[in-house]
């Protein structure tokens, strides 16, 4: 008689873990049962804005593996529309509600993996739960937006919050032909970037016809008599709106774990160790609901991103499968685009770095993605943040056009290895005129940062 693994959550982290564990342990040795509240498993949540935008035609293109496939090919018993409503870590049971049948049942586990994902932050204002106010974290959410677009033919959308999801959804709504207002509390969009770069993002958004309400808090949602959104009040303005989208970021959806006594960290994520174990025996967590650590700030963080969820799921699965893996932390790398503008970051912003106790020097450069004389050379702006005296790289941000953003991965790999800007500037990166100036923009930025470190020391 083998062990029994229960997975809460059918998305990337949970199903990566289940698949990895299955590869290492057969069904006689390990029974795997996964409960998913929604209708879908193992899908690309990050693709939802593009599906809503109409750039991806079929919802199923976003689904990596359907429940039937997990069942038939991997002997993983996935039950969708089943919500885990309670965990008893003493009895080692979960209470599961079948959302279709309306019934509840208890299931025992030997090992429990919590992969409940993230939930959108909702400003605590009147009407925020009105009909027509959408999150876009799940395929069910995405389908709800598309249904509203089809059924109600809205003309005006308000996007609340101008982070990654806010930007992507604002663009999706423009592509759908809606008039788009973006309301953001901060003075600039993309508060995960330093202000001088986010100014360029604001310009690009206005260039697409979006109206920006910056430094403005949402104060309420007005509704029709049928409970559907009619307007968003933001600062002194009332913005007529047929739909609204929450782009205010997310928080780890750790409530179920917290209620069961699983320790929650300062980032509101479930506390995990390098193996993705929580402090409670037999309880594991992975993905957006889990807390991890930042390799540069050395502080606990929770970052909702599919790539991290997949990696953590794999690590949890290796350990649940009886092998070994350790999750080495994150850098806060992220990338997006709005219209033709590519936006990327890794490591710490100036504000993050100072909050972590670093003193910094900064360097900003403007260059081109290809040799300046080569057709299709596009602008790229890079900001590098390095530690005073040591010159250790702490972070980098990129804003530019085609070919700009993916260069962030070189900074990420340099950060991973705790490189100094002095060492980075000599790295043998690839060069040919269709791909880069003779000094790649990454190296130009590192060289300027190295100069700033030297000057600061002098």
d(CA 77, CA 35): 9
Which of residues 216 and 420 has its CB atom nearest to its own copies in the complex? 420
Q: Which of residues 227-286 bind its own copies (CB under 8 A)?
A: none
* Position 308 contacts its own copies (CB under 8 A): yes
d(CA 209, CA 220): 24
Q: How far is the CB of 219 from its own copies (least distance, A)?
A: 31
d(CA 350, CA 347): 10
Of 273, 307, 322, 340, which one interacts with its own copies (CB under 8 A)? 307
* Position 431 contacts its own copies (CB under 8 A): yes
Residue span binding its own copies (CB under 8 A) among the ranges 91-99, 104-112, 142-150, 430-438: 430-438
Residue span binding its own copies (CB under 8 A) among the ranges 152-160, 222-230, 265-273, 398-406: 398-406
* Position 137 contacts its own copies (CB under 8 A): no
Q: How far is the CB of 342 from its own copies (least distance, A)?
A: 8
Residue span binding its own copies (CB under 8 A) among the ranges 125-133, 243-251, 282-290, 321-329: 321-329
Which of residues 154 and 189 has its CB atom nearest to its own copies in the complex? 189
Residue span binding its own copies (CB under 8 A) among the ranges 67-75, 139-147, 214-222, 429-437: 429-437
Q: How many residues bind its own copies (CB under 8 A)?
A: 64
Q: How far is the CB of 46 from its own copies (least distance, A)?
A: 6
* Position 346 contacts its own copies (CB under 8 A): yes
* Position 99 contacts its own copies (CB under 8 A): no
d(CA 288, CA 91): 26
Which of residues 228 and 439 has its CB atom nearest to its own copies in the complex? 439
The residue from 18, 46, 197, 229 that is catalytic is 46
* Position 455 contacts its own copies (CB under 8 A): no
Residue span binding its own copies (CB under 8 A) among the ranges 78-86, 94-102, 308-316, 389-397: 308-316
Phi first, then psi: what are they for 351, rounded to 5°?
-65, -45
d(CA 24, CA 30): 10
* Position 445 contacts its own copies (CB under 8 A): no
* Position 336 contacts its own copies (CB under 8 A): yes
* Position 333 contacts its own copies (CB under 8 A): yes
Q: Two tokens at 335?
A: 């990338």
Whether 339 is a known active-site residue: answer no
Which of residues 412 and 452 has its CB atom nearest to its own copies in the complex? 412
- Which residues of the chain form contacts with its own copies (CB under 8 A)? 12, 44, 46-47, 50, 55-56, 61-62, 164, 295, 305-308, 310-311, 327-337, 342, 344, 346, 371, 373-375, 403, 405-410, 412-414, 416-417, 419, 423, 426-436, 438-440, 442
Give catalytic residues, as residue numbers: 46
């Amino acid at each position: 008689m083998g062990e029994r693994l229960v997975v809460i959550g059918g998305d990337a982290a949970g199903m990566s873990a289940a698949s990895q564990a299955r590869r290492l342990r057969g069904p006689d040795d390990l029974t795997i049962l996964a409960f998913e509240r929604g209708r879908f498993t193992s899908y690309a949540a990050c693709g939802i804005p593009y599906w809503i935008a109409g750039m991806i035609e079929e919802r199923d293109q976003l689904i990596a593996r359907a429940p039937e496939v997990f069942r038939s090919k991997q002997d993983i018993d996935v039950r969708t529309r089943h919500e885990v409503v309670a965990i008893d870590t003493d009895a080692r049971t979960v209470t599961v509600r079948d959302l279709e049948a309306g019934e509840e049942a208890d299931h025992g586990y030997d090992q429990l993996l919590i992969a409940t994902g993230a939930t959108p932050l909702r400003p605590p204002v009147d009407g925020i739960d009105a009909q027509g106010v959408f999150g876009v974290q799940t395929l069910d959410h995405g389908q709800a937006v598309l249904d509203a677009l089809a059924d109600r033919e809205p003309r005006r959308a308000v996007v609340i919050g101008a982070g990654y999801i806010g930007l992507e959804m604002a663009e999706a709504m423009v592509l759908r032909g809606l008039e788009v207002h973006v309301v953001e509390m901060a003075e600039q969009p993309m508060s995960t970037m330093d202000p001088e770069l986010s100014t360029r993002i604001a310009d690009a958004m206005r260039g697409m016809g979006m109206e920006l309400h910056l430094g403005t808090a949402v104060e309420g949602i007005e509704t029709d008599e049928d409970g559907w959104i009619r307007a968003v009040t933001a600062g002194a303005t009332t913005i007529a709106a047929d739909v609204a989208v929450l782009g205010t970021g997310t928080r780890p959806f750790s409530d179920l774990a917290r209620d069961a006594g699983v320790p929650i960290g300062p980032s509101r994520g479930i506390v995990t160790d390098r193996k993705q174990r929580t402090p409670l025996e037999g309880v594991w967590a992975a993905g957006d609901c889990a807390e991890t650590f930042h390799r540069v700030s050395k502080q606990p963080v929770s970052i909702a991103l599919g790539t991290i969820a997949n990696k953590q799921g794999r690590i949890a699965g290796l350990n649940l499968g009886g092998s070994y893996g350790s999750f080495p932390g994150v850098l806060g790398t992220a990338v997006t685009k709005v219209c033709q503008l590519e936006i990327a970051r890794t490591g710490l912003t100036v504000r993050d770095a100072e909050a972590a106790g670093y003193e910094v020097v900064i360097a900003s450069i403007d260059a081109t993605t290809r040799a300046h004389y080569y057709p299709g050379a596009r602008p790229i702006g890079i900001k590098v943040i390095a530690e005073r005296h040591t010159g250790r790289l702490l972070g980098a941000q990129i804003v530019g056009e085609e070919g700009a953003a993916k260069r962030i991965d070189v900074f990420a790999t340099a950060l991973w290895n705790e490189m100094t800007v002095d060492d980075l500037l000599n790295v043998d990166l690839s060069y040919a005129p269709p791909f880069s100036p003779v000094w790649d923009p990454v190296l130009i930025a590192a060289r300027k940062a190295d100069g700033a470190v030297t000057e600061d020391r002098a």
